[in-house]
Amino acid sequence: MRQVLVVHYSQTGQLNRLVRSVCAPLQADAGIQVDFLPLEPAQPYPFPWPFLGFFRIFPETVLMKPQPLRPLAVDAGKDYDLIILAYQVWFLSPSLPLTSFLASPEAARLLRGRPVVTLIGCRNMWLMAQEKVKARLAQLGARLLDNVALTDACGTAASFLATPLWMFTGRRKPYHWVPEAGIADAEISAASRFGEAIARRLSADALPLEQPMLRGLGAVKVDEKLIGSETVGNRSFQLWSRLLSALGPQQSRRRGAGLLLYIVFLISLIITVVPVGALLKKVLAPLFKARTQRQKDYFAGPSGE
């Protein structure tokens, strides 16, 4: 019997729905055993988030500093044919629970030499987070076979408002004039096609998984307009994270004061620099068409658009 482990953490419940959709075809196959490993922080993260509380974890998230998890209910010695890592994106980085798992001894034992599929549910910017996960998987000796990334349906501009309101109110559409945040329900349901493709490959033979299984299924969509924004944003986040971390621990007053300054800076950046940058990229796009296509092809891998 083929063995699959699904490691996941969902704060809003959306990612759990995506996991269930993808895994339903695997669970329906009598020749496949699916084990689920929900990650539980030792100190649960609140939802909805308190405004300043959300930003207090910014430095640890960006710097990928592992935080305590509750004991992992998994047999780290079990020989899995495939491991699915389902995660959210926080501050252009994998969420702290996934980062903490990837730093654990159990992850080192489970992932070494194993094929991995990553499954992302986020607002829209996932490229830098996936680069960090790829680097960690390489360090652990795991092999990334496929990546699925589903993003909010309301679009980039609208999600600047809709997603924060969801985080701070707990409601996907708190006001009638705000677009509904989150991945479209139809898209989550349609994600079962990825599970069907994985199940077909697992059932085809008993050989180790070596090649991508999700090519041609629209597993990801790379928005070329966001490549530069993510790259620059990640560099800024790294700098600010180090500065804020140096001010003191998460709940310290000094970090709180530094965060207020950072929030003002971030909002000013979004209002002024981001629109100007988007306009410049649109004007200059024809000059960098070939380079942009190479970047898209790289970030779309290994599954492709």
Write the pLDDT tens digit of every residue in 117-132. 999 999 889 999 999 9
Q: Is it the case that residue 280 has pLDDT exceeding 80?
A: no
Rounded Cα gap, residues 182 and 83, in angstroms = 25
- Under the banding of pLDDT at 50, 70 and 90, the label for residue 273 is low
Q: Is it the case that residue 274 has pLDDT exceeding 70?
A: no
Outline where 57-191 has alpha helix (H): 58-62, 96-102, 105-111, 127-140, 156-169, 185-190
SS3 220: coil
Higher pLDDT: 275 or 9? It is 9
- Residue 42 DSSP one-character state: S
Q: What is the pLDDT of residues 228-262, one digit of tens each?
A: 888 888 999 999 999 999 999 988 999 999 999 99
Closest C-alpha among 252, 243, 231, 263 to residue 59: 243
User: Token pair 């986020």 is at which residue?
Assistant: 122
Higher pLDDT: 56 or 270? It is 56
Q: Give the mean pLDDT of 276-292.
A: 74
Rounded Cα gap, residues 145 and 205, in angstroms = 17
Q: What is the full DSSP assignment across 191-214?
A: THHHHHHHHHHHHH-SSPP-S-S-
Q: What is the pLDDT of residues 97-152, one digit of tens each?
A: 999 999 999 999 999 999 999 999 998 899 999 999 999 999 999 999 999 999 99
Q: What is the full DSSP assignment across 115-144?
A: EEEEEEEESS--HHHHHHHHHHHHHHT-EE
Q: Is it the case that residue 22 has pLDDT exceeding 90?
A: yes
The pLDDT value given to residue 266? 83
pTM of the model: 0.93
Distances (CA, A) of 57 to 44, 49, 53, 97: 12, 11, 7, 12
Rounded Cα gap, residues 193 and 217, in angstroms = 8
Evaluate the omega torsion of the peptide bond into residue 302 and state whether it is cis, within 30 degrees of 0.
yes
CATH 3.40.50.360, applies to 2-225:
yes
Rounded Cα gap, residues 79 and 75, in angstroms = 9
